[in-house]
Amino acid sequence: MMKITVEKLIYGGKGIGKIDEKVCFVPYVLPEEEVEVDIIREKKSFYECVPVQIIKTSPYRKEPVCRYFTYCGGCDYLHIDYEKQVEYKNEIFVETLKRVGKLDNIPVLEPVSSPENLYYRNRAQFKIRGEKIGFFKKESREIVNIDYCYLLKKELNDALSGLREILPFFSFQPVEAQVYSSSENRTVVKFLFPKNIKKVPLGLKHMKAFLGESLEGFGMYLIKDGYARRINFVGSPFVYETVGDYRFRVSADSFFQVNRFQVKNLIDLVENEMKKDSISVAFDLYSGVGTFSIPMGRYAQKVFGVEINPYAVQDANHNRKLNKATNVFFHRASASDINRFMIKKNPELVLLDPPRTGIDSNTLKALLQIKNLRKIIYISCNPATLARDLSKLTENGFTVVSTRFIDMFPHTYHIESLTILEK
């Protein structure tokens, strides 16, 4: 057993210290704490450790509200005072931009904390194996059997208790149940199977008896080559979200922002940027159900949303009519497939909300070819790929006007951000 002093937290949720000048990674600690650790894995340049005893405790350490903490892989920072969490994550965000992107002296605005840091998630993916229903253990495929999660809104926790009663009705078990509950407290559920299931075990009425009256519909899906293909759906496959004076239809197979308390804050930030300029044409890449495209339409003459998910595009076109956004148009395509069309339309502004991998190289090249492009709004869920992309954009004539951390995922290491670039 060894003793270390934790120097800082890093992206990924761990703290770092040193053992004989060799870096040591250890979870569930805080900066300046003295910790006894066990080495569980030794690599050439670092140790992987687990904490055994906290010798000197940080004043920002608190008692975790959840009994599964450190066993379940869902949370990383439930032992840290929330205000201090935001401060630490903001430091990690800025440090990553500097280290990966070599981006110094860029304006960093105040972080946007989540108005509520518990019960904020509107979506959950419950793993199922035998009698276990829950989430994966950290860095493992072992399932931690849980009966309650403090990050999930009430309807999701209610569904969790009902799932256990449903499983005996299936001819064979699903490996996952995905539950989504909207701001209007209406729910849809997806059951994912490793092989084709021909018979639906229960009707909607009986499913509601187990999963709650908020259930609008449920679907059976076959997982093949890592992709979930819909076999059938009983009841309604979509629910509605209300955000301010916007309303969005969201299907079971579409995506919507997970933190129900932060969606409006994100839309407000986008709208504030749109108000600053006179914009003829704008593009929203990775546009989903139109969460940003439709608000953008209030401030630009024309907005083109680009999304590869067919269900999301169907939702987006429905939402376009629902919100009377007649100047907003949606295209089903990948961001890279639309490049020639985007260059031809010559937008003054492009909003990007890519997956964790960031902007693909072809799209990045296309952005640099748009003659009228003056502003980019980049919403990122990965500071490392953001730093990489910002580095390339700033090398090619763009300036980072501002960036800020937005805490979409309290008590986890995940970092969402919004960056403004101008040319």
Q: How far apart are CA 353 and CA 305, in angstroms?
A: 11
CATH number of 123-240: 2.40.50.1070
Specify the CATH class of 94-115+251-422 in words: alpha beta
For residue 199, the model assigns a pLDDT of 83
**pLDDT at position 264 over 90:** yes
- CATH 2.40.50.140 in the chain, residue ranges: 2-61
Catalytic residue numbers? Answer: 381
**96: part of which helix (H) or strand (E)?**
helix 82-101
Q: How confident is the model at residue 335 (pLDDT cuts 50, 70, 90)?
A: confident
Q: How confident is the model at residue 330 (pLDDT cuts 50, 70, 90)?
A: very high
Taking residues 119-147, report their average pLDDT. 95
Among 15, 134, 156, smallest CA distance to 71 is for 134
Task: Identify the residue whose tokens are 């209007």.
Answer: 184
- CATH 3.40.50.150 in the chain, residue ranges: 94-115+251-422
Taking residues 58-80, report their average pLDDT. 97
CATH number of 2-61: 2.40.50.140
For residue 21, the model assigns a pLDDT of 87
For residue 225, the model assigns a pLDDT of 86
Model confidence pLDDT, tens digit, residues 157-199: 999 989 999 999 988 899 999 999 999 999 999 999 999 988 8
Q: How far apart are CA 420 and CA 397, in angstroms?
A: 14
Chain mean pLDDT for the chain: 96
**With 0-12 CB in 10 A as exposed, 13-18 as middle and 19+ as buried, what is 185?**
middle
Query: How far is CA 377 from its chain centroid?
Result: 17
- CATH 2.40.50.1070 in the chain, residue ranges: 123-240
For residue 1, the model assigns a pLDDT of 79
Q: How confident is the model at residue 23 (pLDDT cuts 50, 70, 90)?
A: very high
Model confidence pLDDT, tens digit, residues 339-369: 999 999 999 999 999 999 999 999 999 999 9
